[in-house]
Each structure stands twice: as structure tokens, then as C-alpha cells.
Chain A
């Protein structure tokens, strides 16, 4: 079955440190891939997306993600985290049936 896995439920990082959030997808075909961020009580904001082409994708707020077909992964990174990056992050994928499937999310806490 098609699924998206985010192995880390919660990550704590110091302000100014780097951040990497992991995402893996199942199923043989390569889906369209997305990262969204959700602040408490808010909807989802798109950070970046991968459809095809260059495997390193740049997004908003200084985020980037790298698609690795061999590992079925689409990890999100940020070189230097700001306190405002504290939020919940969702990886999502869309296959041929057009349904958007989400991972369980990773909560990021930023400590001063």
C-alpha cells in the first residue's frame, strides 16, 4: 500500500543549529513529493515540492530537500534554525490515484 513514513516523531534542536527531517515513501512508482509546515491552530503551508528533475529542491524560509530514488527518501534540511521554525512538519506524497498521503508528522522544538 502507498504510504509515507516520518521516523522521527519529535526533534529538539538548538537555535542556529542545522536541522534534518526524514521522510520515506513506499510503493514502487516515484510519487510527487511535498513538505508542509503547520503552526499550532493553523493550516498547512507548503515549503517545497518535487515533481521531477533536479533532485535538490529549494523552498521557502531557507529550507531545502533532497530526493533520493535509491533510498525512497525525501529529507528536509535547514542549515541554521530560527526559533520561528518550531512547528510540525509533514511530508506528503501523491501517486497515480491522485490522493495526497501524509506522514504522521515531526514536531520540531527549538531551544534558545
Chain B
């Protein structure tokens, strides 16, 4: 069974731009979560989607948003990029976030210049 895939793997943007990251979960998984990993703040939860509905949200500004499609693929969007948004963005999928284990993708490395 194929694992979680994330595209693109690397991205360079400039301040003020917006970016969209994509995540394809493991086949059959309906829950997708997003995390931000930085050297200073570590791994922080962004949000979680299940069956196209956002069920949980972390403490991030409204510039960070996401959505999930009917095939469970998910995208996250960051608008008006700031230097501090440079991070590794990880996506994880599970059968159900509440009861199941999360499996992570390789991440998207975003650099904001």
C-alpha cells in the first residue's frame, strides 16, 4: 500500500506571496492532519480534516487554511507569507484521527525569502 505523499517536496517563495501544499493520504484513510516543524517551535499541530470537514485546529493565524476533497486528498494554503513561515510542513493520515495511528508523509520544505 502506498504511503502518504506530499507535493511539492521543496518550495521557495518570497514574503507576501501565497503557497498551496498538497497531501495524498494512504488509500482508505479519511483523516488528514497537518503539522509545522521548525527548529525553534518544534512540531506544532495546524489542523485536521475528516470527510471534508475541519474537526480540529491549532493555534495558527487565519493566514493558514486548508481543505479536504471528496477523495480525501488535502491541501493547505498559506497566504501573505512571512519569513517565519519557513518550515517543514508534514501531513499525516489515519483511518480516524481519534482512534487510529497517524502515518506521516515526507514533508514539504518551504523556504520564504
Interface residues of A (CB under 8 A from B): 34, 36, 41-46, 49, 90, 92, 97-105
Cα–Cα distance between A100 and B48 once the two chains are bound (Å): 10
CB-based closest 9 A-B pairs? A102-B43, A43-B104, A44-B104, A43-B106, A99-B45, A104-B42, A43-B107, A43-B105, A98-B98
Partner of A90, one of B4, B43, B101, B105: B43
Interface of chain B residues 1 through 56 with chain A (CB within 8 A)? 4, 33, 35, 42-45, 48, 55-56
B64 at interface by CB-CB < 8 Å:
no
In chain A, what residue has the closest Cβ to B44? A102
On chain A, the residues within 8 Å of B109 by CB distance are: 41
Question: Known: A43-B90, A98-B48, A99-B56. Contact between A105 and B103, CB under 8 A?
Answer: no
In chain B, what residue has the closest Cβ to A51? B99
**Shortest CB–CB separation between residue A78 and chain B, in angstroms?**
20
**Shortest CB–CB separation between residue A94 and chain B, in angstroms?**
8
On chain A, the residues within 8 Å of B98 by CB distance are: 98
On chain A, the residues within 8 Å of B43 by CB distance are: 90, 92, 102, 105
